[in-house]
Structure 1
Amino acid sequence: MQRDVRKNRRKFTQCPNCGYSFEEVNNYCPNCGQENHDLNVPVKHLIVEFLEGTIHYDTKTWRTIKYLLFRPGLLTEKFNIGQRAAYVPPFRLYVFVSIVFFFVLALSTNAPGVGTDQKEVQVTVPGVHIEDPLTDSVLYTSEPAVVTSEAQAIAVSDSALQAIEDPTFKTAMTRLVSFSKGGEQAKQKLLKNTSFMMFILMPFFAYLLYLFYYKQRRNYVEHLMFSIHLHTFFFVIIIIATSLALVFSGLDLEGWVVVLMLVYLFFALKQVYKQSYGQTLLKLIPLSFLYCLTLAIFLLGTLAVSVMMS
Structure 2
Amino acid sequence: MKEITESGGLLCANCATPMHGEFCHECGQSIHSVLKPVHGMLEDTLDIVLHVDGRAMHTIPPLLTKPGFLTLEYFSGRRVRYVAPFRLMFVLCLLAFFLGHIALDQATNKISHAEATHGPSAPINAFADAGTTLEVKKKLDQQVAQLRLTREAVGSSTGLDLAEAALRKQAAQRTAELDGSAPAKASSSESDDGLVQLDEGDKKGWLFKPTHVDIAWLPGFMNARLEKGLQHMKLNLLAMKAKGEARDDAMERLKAGTFAVLPQTMFVLMPIFALLLKIMYIFRRRLYMEHLIVALHSHAFLFLNLIVGIVLSMLAAWLVPHAGNWLGSVFRLLEWALAIWALVYLLLMQKRVYRQGWFLTSVKYFVVGWCYLWMLFFALLFAVILGMAH
TM-score by length of 1: 0.72
Quote the offset at 1:32 in angstroms. Answer: 9.2
* Partner of residue 239, structure 1: 307
Please report the RMSD computed on the Cα atoms of aligned residues, expressed in angstroms: 4.1
* Partner of residue 59, structure 1: 54
* Partner of residue 223, structure 2: none
* Partner of residue 211, structure 1: 279
The unaligned stretches of length 5 or more in structure 1 are 1-5, 129-143
* Partner of residue 194, structure 1: 262
Q: 1:81 to 1:19 in 2, by over 3 A?
A: closer
* Partner of residue 356, structure 2: 275
8 Å contact 2:258–2:383 — kept in the other structure? yes
Of 154, 163, 184, 2:252 maps to: 184
Quote the offset at 1:66 in angstroms. Answer: 2.4
Q: Distance in 1 between matches of 2:208 and 2:285?
A: 47
- Percent identical: 27
Give the total of aligned pairs: 281
Quote the offset at 1:279 in angstroms. Answer: 2.1
| Higher normalized helix content (fraction of residues) | 2
TM-score by length of 2: 0.59
Larger radius of gyration between Structure 1 and Structure 2: 2
- Partner of 2:80, secondary structure, is coil
Q: Distance in 2 between matches of 1:286 and 1:30?
A: 47
State yes or no: 1:167 paired with 2:206.
Answer: yes
Of 6, 25, 32, 1:37 maps to: 32
Q: Distance in 2 between matches of 1:113 and 1:32?
A: 55
Q: Which moved more, 1:246-255 or 1:60-69?
A: 246-255
Deviation digits for residues 124-163 of structure 1 (CA, Å, limit 9, x no counterpart): 33379xxxxxxxxxxxxxxx99999xx87x63xx759953
- Partner of 2:123, secondary structure, is strand
8 Å contact 2:71–2:353 — kept in the other structure? yes
Quote the offset at 1:270 in angstroms. Answer: 0.6
- Partner of 2:113, secondary structure, is coil
Deviation digits for residues 47-73 of structure 1 (CA, Å, limit 9, x no counterpart): 555444433333322212222112211
Q: Which moved more, 1:26-35 or 1:279-288?
A: 26-35
Q: Distance in 1 between matches of 2:347 and 2:112?
A: 37
The unaligned stretches of length 5 or more in structure 2 are 130-185, 212-229, 241-246, 318-327
- Map 1:1-310 onto structure 2 (within 5 A): 8=3, 25=20, 27=22, 35-38=30-33, 46-111=41-106, 116=111, 118-120=113-115, 121-126=120-125, 155=196, 159=198, 163=202, 167=206, 174=234, 177-178=237-238, 181=247, 182-249=250-317, 251-252=331-332, 255-307=336-388, 309-310=389-390
Q: Distance in 2 between matches of 1:83 and 1:160?
A: 69
